[in-house]
């Protein structure tokens, strides 16, 4: 069952369902994306410690990565992006890219001078320079970057923020979504709306009802894993995700652990991103089929076995836990490369196994 999306060249193919879980394919002009999918985070136009050849090669085979509007706007800047012809040409990544709106980074990283109904005035976390980000500016940046999927500019309060703060953020996010929808986009650039509302599922459902009629190419759940309990995160997922339109891809922003991904897929989510596999890798934490390995631990000093005997990545095929611990202890750059390759491969294979289960055990669409 194939659903054409509002942006020409994009469609969402639903292959099978298992409860609320779905297996499908997001068709884009730059390539097909089997879903569910985990998208590696490439904040500054690079997935930290990885080459694009490594990202493209099996068994990782990343079909889409993320770029960050806020960071790329501040550095290298729009002048460089315009001269290069967009992020794909600048970075030489030839598969799809999703860019976030910059909203989360403005509210979490920058020194905010003023937020009003029009947008946000903030100071750069890099040099303190002052900038103004509005829905139109965010869309202009994403148009210049030339991403395949752009995200609406939204206000992202903490998940446990009080009701009055949530309601103001909700009203602004709805108004800003309309402005993003009306703004000019790059040719062939899809646009996703973002459902906010904190941990109040009634507010979430009300906000979704406001956004869905705007006819976005996909819908995201934002503002989760930002301070609320894991029980509240899962409750919101279970009660809201499957209510979003079945004919559009559903995206859970910035979440999370392998268990979070499994829970999100069961709730009906199709797309995920999180810095956890790359950040944890650099900090010595490796995901395996038998649990997490904290590589600095002394028990691995003479452990000549692979990080994960079940993993086919080059790190596990070639190097031992003892060697990785040696590299980590010595602060060798190679450690970050090998560990990141493994963690990203683990995440990709974890999601693909869940997708295969939906295809094998589910009902064909």
Instruction: For 38-88, write each residue's pLDDT tens digit.
Output: 999 999 999 999 999 999 999 999 999 999 999 999 999 999 999 999 999
Catalytic residue check, 160: no
The CATH number assigned to the domain with range 37-274 reads 3.20.20.105
> Torsions phi, psi of 223, nearest 5?
70, 25
Strand partners, 98: 66, 149
Catalytic residue among 260, 270, 273, 308: 273
Among 100, 148, 260, 270, the one annotated catalytic: 100
Average pLDDT, the chain: 96
Question: What's the pLDDT tens digit per position in 128-171?
Answer: 999 999 999 999 999 999 999 999 999 988 767 789 988 999 99
Q: Which comes out higher in pLDDT, residue 158 or 36?
A: 36
d(CA 164, CA 172): 12
53 is catalytic: no
Distance of CA 230 to the CA centre of its chain: 18
pLDDT of 106 reads 84
Residue 357 has pLDDT above 90, yes or no: yes
CA dist 17 to 61, 74, 187, 267, 358, Å? 24, 42, 32, 11, 6
pLDDT score, position 333 = 98
Global pTM value: 0.97
Domain boundaries, the chain: 37-274, 282-338
pLDDT above 90 for 316:
yes
Q: End-to-end alpha-carbon separation of the chain, Å?
A: 6
Which tokens hold the place of 10? 């994009």
Is the predicted pLDDT of residue 113 greater than 80, yes or no? yes
Separation between Cα atoms, residue 236 and residue 213, nearest integer Å: 21
Q: What is the 3-state secondary structure (H, E, C) of 223-288?
A: CCCCCCCHHHHHHHHHHHHHHCCCCCCEEECCCCCHHHHHHHHHHCCCEEECCHHHHHHHCCEEEE
pLDDT recorded at residue 144: 98
Q: Percent of the chain scored above 90 by pLDDT?
A: 92
Query: Which has the higher per-residue pLDDT, 18 or 165?
Result: 18
Candidates 171, 210, 168, 205; CA nearest to 193 is 210
Least confident of 23-32, 56-65, 89-98, 151-160: 151-160
Locate tokens 């148009």: which residue? 143
């Amino acid at each position: 069952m194939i659903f054409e999306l509002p942006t020409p060249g994009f469609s969402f193919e639903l292959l099978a369902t298992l409860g609320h879980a779905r297996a499908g394919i997001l068709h884009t002009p730059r390539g097909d994306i089997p879903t569910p999918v985990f998208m590696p985070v490439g904040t500054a136009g690079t997935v930290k410690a990885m080459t694009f050849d490594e990202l493209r090669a099996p068994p990782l085979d990343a079909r889409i990565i993320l770029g960050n509007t806020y960071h790329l706007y501040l550095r290298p800047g729009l002048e460089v992006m315009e001269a290069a012809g967009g992020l794909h040409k600048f970075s030489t990544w030839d598969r799809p890219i999703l860019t976030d709106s910059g909203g989360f980074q403005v509210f979490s990283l920058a020194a905010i001078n003023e937020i009003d109904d029009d947008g946000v005035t903030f100071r750069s976390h890099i040099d303190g320079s002052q900038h103004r980000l509005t829905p139109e500016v965010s869309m202009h940046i994403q148009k210049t970057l030339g991403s395949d999927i752009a995200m609406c500019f939204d206000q992202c309060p903490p998940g446990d923020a009080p009701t009055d703060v949530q309601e103001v953020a909700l009203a602004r996010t709805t108004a800003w979504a309309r402005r993003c929808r009306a703004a000019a986009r790059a040719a062939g650039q899809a646009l996703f709306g973002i459902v906010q509302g904190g941990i109040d599922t009634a507010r979430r459902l009300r906000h979704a009802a406001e956004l869905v009629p705007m006819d976005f190419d996909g819908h995201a759940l934002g503002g989760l894993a930002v301070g609320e309990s894991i029980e509240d995160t899962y409750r919101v997922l279970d009660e809201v995700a499957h209510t979003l339109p079945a004919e559009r891809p559903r995206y859970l922003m910035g979440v999370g652990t392998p268990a979070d991904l499994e829970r999100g897929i069961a709730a009906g989510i199709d797309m995920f991103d999180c810095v956890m596999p790359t950040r944890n890798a650099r900090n010595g934490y490796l995901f395996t089929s038998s649990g997490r390995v904290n590589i600095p631990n002394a028990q691995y000093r003479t452990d000549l076995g692979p990080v994960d005997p079940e993993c086919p990545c080059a790190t596990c095929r070639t190097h031992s836990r003892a060697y990785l611990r040696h590299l980590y202890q010595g602060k060798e750059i190679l450690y970050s490369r090998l560990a990141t390759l493994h963690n990203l491969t683990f995440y990709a294979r974890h999601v693909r196994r869940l997708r295969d289960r939906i295809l094998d055990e589910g009902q064909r669409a």
